[in-house]
Amino acid sequence: MSEEKKSEPLTVLSPPAPKEEVKVTEEPKEKTASIVEKIIENLEQTYREEKAKEIQILYNGFVDVITNHKAHISNILTAIELLKQDVIMQQLQKIRSEQVRSEQG
């Protein structure tokens, strides 16, 4: 024969009554400003680190391409200059199209 255990009813616990009145105080503005400054500094540091990683990846990719092609240095520099000009032109076109849209809308 198996013994059945009687389950005890669950009791609902209520929070204890506060012994003293709890006062909420505001932090001084200087402390809040200090916290905000620290958050901004952390965000800026993270941004700089991520940017440096991206630059390193691009740099390594360019080195691989240049090494594999074994081109003459003047040709490499010309290709880099052409690439630079293409990127600048794309950015200028993007800015101009945004200006046209803002003037129209």
Write out the chain in H/E/C secondary structure. CCCCCCCCCCCCCCCCCCCCCCCCCCCCHHHHHHHHHHHHHHHHHHHHHHHHHHHHHHHHHHHHHHHHHCCCHHHHHHHHHHHHHHHHHHHHHHHHHHHHHHHHC
For 30-76, the pLDDT digits (tens) are: 777 788 899 999 999 999 999 999 999 999 998 888 889 888 999 99
Q: What is the pLDDT of residues 72-91, one digit of tens each?
A: 999 999 999 999 999 999 99
Confidence at residue 54, expressed as pLDDT on a 0 to 100 scale: 94
How much is the pTM?
0.52
